[in-house]
Structure 1
């Protein structure tokens, strides 16, 4: 967190990123609320969810394009302005007398375009953060921005639901558009400041390979760093465990309401999600600095112990122990990802850094939905107990693999 207060340029950059996240979440909630009132609301909500999730799978493409971009600050300014204009257009559409489904389809398309542009902006972000902070501060910087974004996500959900009581859908879309425009202006100001200082980060050396050649090279460089690719896969599965626990615990609570419900069922489910989010936010903001000199392997081991503890708590139907251990799991998972980024920055060629991070992000993103689908399907076909036991076995295997990789890395270092 100290980097936010002592580094003026990074502070501005973080505020711009946080503004964009806050506006996006407010509008997403408004769109979901509007779609929930349509006749065939389940289809509308599914389409919105797809329009939000599919662009994230383009992280590799976004990173590749970012690596080929010379003036990264200029492009991130343009992306913010374009996304702002798109949501101002959405605000205009909401103000017109357009039939429900026609309006939702148009907004979903615009939202998809904006989020796809967002993957390119995301690819530009890490190289720009690196240009603003010292090399050993990258994990702290990435962790702080990620953690605050998670806090903003939690807060914006409650704020958004309150704003919908007295603000129109059109107004919330306009607010989202304005947050992107303000973010773009902040990026523009940072670019101007960097240019005045004569820092050679505005125009950077770019990679000129083809998309697949770049990804192959990125994968080779990641594999070349001892233990890195295995660690990436372990963290991907760890994130999968984190995301799979929530739907499984929801099933267990539904069948054991008398002993596991706190207040109401819906409040209990919301509390579980909040605990994971709070833990991840605290890990990203404070964990990276607190465990700055601690090996990433130890962080993963702690996370695996926490994950196994959550599952045991669920099997034992101890709801308070579930909440505490789930928060701890979120904390260590939130700490691990920025430290992984720090390792990546030191391991790969900076000309293909965004492509490498995009490749890693794609791996991290794919694991969660695959594991959630697999274990929830197993629960539906057999019994939730089998899914939880399977997840416990996965956590134990991850623990063993992490210890094995850590020992091998230690032997090579000697």
Structure 2
């Protein structure tokens, strides 16, 4: 822990990320609150959900490009400039009367921004790998996760308050400003990163990128990534369950938003507060789970299989609570689920970072993320279709059955002790 706190460069990079996270959190709460004011709220939620799904499909694609990009810091700076401009555009559009067309434009901006975010992540992987010692990586990931979760509680609370006093125009403007601040930080620390990370010699990016071979290369790297994952002893069963878990967690908030638009019993004070509390319960669980990983040897020793079983059970309880319109029990179940997720992530992350050549880190890691999030993508696409035709309670039943089957499968098959 002391080494992490003394690593000023790592902390500044983390600060940049935390500031942009505030803007993203505020934008998400604002957009979901905006949707509940529309008559076609189900369609609007479906559109927003799709805008958050599609960028996941580009993870492998941008992982390949990121590994082949020589001037990584310069490229990160350029993407931040673009994102500043995009949210300035949203701010102007938010001056118009609330309509489905505004939602479509805001969702398109969200799609492009999230896609650029995927690219930035790929560019950061080898840089982060170089500025943190190998022996400190699992602890650094747990520290980052805990700090990010702590700040997200502040972000959610402040976001819910700002939505009650500011217009959607000002909220989008603040989001643009957060990316501008992150851009400023990156400009300040650019030379420090260059001193620690030499693009020219540490990356295999010198080869020419040919778009005609893109599909073949993506499939090749995806297969390689999955092969890396499944080569880990006793991990096969767990890897079959993780996409289902991710997919189920991904639609909880959109499901609540659809229900809130109908004036449901799930409301606590107002729509923005309810959405914010869902986020707070999740990040609070992340803080506790991250803290347990840092300070509790017993919790740290839990196997991935055991954590998955507990996680699936809490997600099942979340859907049951939703079905019976008990928002408080749903918040509690979401909190517990986040505790277990935050315990799994550092374990998986450390395994990945410690077993992959850093010159292919973004490519392989991108393929792994794509695999892990495949359930997320399929689930969001399924939800975006179901929400147009089925009541929210029926959708909850569909996911209850799916999660229950995954849980029963883990009892028989998952015995991971990594």
Q: Where on the TM-score scale, by shorter chain, does this alignment land: which range?
A: 0.7 to 0.9
Q: Which residue of structure 2 aligns with residue 59 of structure 1?
A: 59
Give the drift of 1:331: 1.1
Q: Kindly report which structure 2 residues correspond to 1:36-115, keeping only aligned pairs within 5 A, or say none.
A: 36-95=36-95, 100-115=99-114
Q: Which residue of structure 2 aligns with residue 300 of structure 1?
A: 305
CA deviations over 1:365-394 (Å, ceiling 9, x no partner): 23246568699989967995x975763452
**Unmatched 5+ stretches in structure 2:** 210-216, 258-263
- Partners of 1:21 and 1:172 in 2: how far apart? 14
Q: TM-score, normalised by structure 2?
A: 0.76
Q: Which residue of structure 2 aligns with residue 275 of structure 1?
A: 281
- Partners of 1:360 and 1:271 in 2: how far apart? 31
Q: TM-score, normalised by structure 1?
A: 0.76
- Partners of 1:365 and 1:387 in 2: how far apart? 17
- Partners of 1:328 and 1:315 in 2: how far apart? 15
* Partner-residue secondary structure (3-state), 1:206: coil
Give the drift of 1:226: 3.2
CA distance 1:275–1:90, shift in 2 (3 Å): closer
Q: Are 2:242 and 1:235 equivalent residues in the alignment?
A: yes
Q: 1:212 aligns with which of 214, 219, 225?
A: 219
Q: Which moved more, 1:172-181 or 1:202-211?
A: 202-211
Q: Which residue of structure 1 aligns with residue 260 of structure 2?
A: none
- Partners of 1:381 and 1:165 in 2: how far apart? 32
Please tell me whether the aligned partners of residues 313 and 321 of structure 1 are also in contact (alpha carbons under 8 angstroms).
Answer: yes
* Partner-residue secondary structure (3-state), 2:202: coil
Count of residues in Structure 1 that have an aligned counterpart in Structure 2: 395
Q: 2:414 aligns with which of 387, 402, 412?
A: 402
- Partners of 1:313 and 1:103 in 2: how far apart? 32
Which has the greater radius of gyration?
A: 1
Q: Which residue of structure 1 aligns with residue 24 of structure 2?
A: 24
Aligned-residue RMSD, C-alpha: 4.3
Q: Are 2:361 and 1:353 equivalent residues in the alignment?
A: yes
CA deviations over 1:211-240 (Å, ceiling 9, x no partner): 333333333333444345554434334444
* Partner-residue secondary structure (3-state), 2:166: coil
**Unmatched 5+ stretches in structure 1:** 251-256, 410-414
Q: Which residue of structure 2 aligns with residue 165 of structure 1?
A: 164
Kindly indicate whether structure 1 or structure 2 has the higher relative contact order, using CA contacts under 8 Å at least 6 residues apart: 2
Q: Are 2:286 and 1:286 equivalent residues in the alignment?
A: no
CA distance 1:100–1:247, shift in 2 (3 Å): closer
Please tell me whether the aligned partners of residues 194 and 202 of structure 1 are also in contact (alpha carbons under 8 angstroms).
Answer: no
CA distance 1:29–1:198, shift in 2 (3 Å): closer
- Partners of 2:287 and 2:408 in 1: how far apart? 25
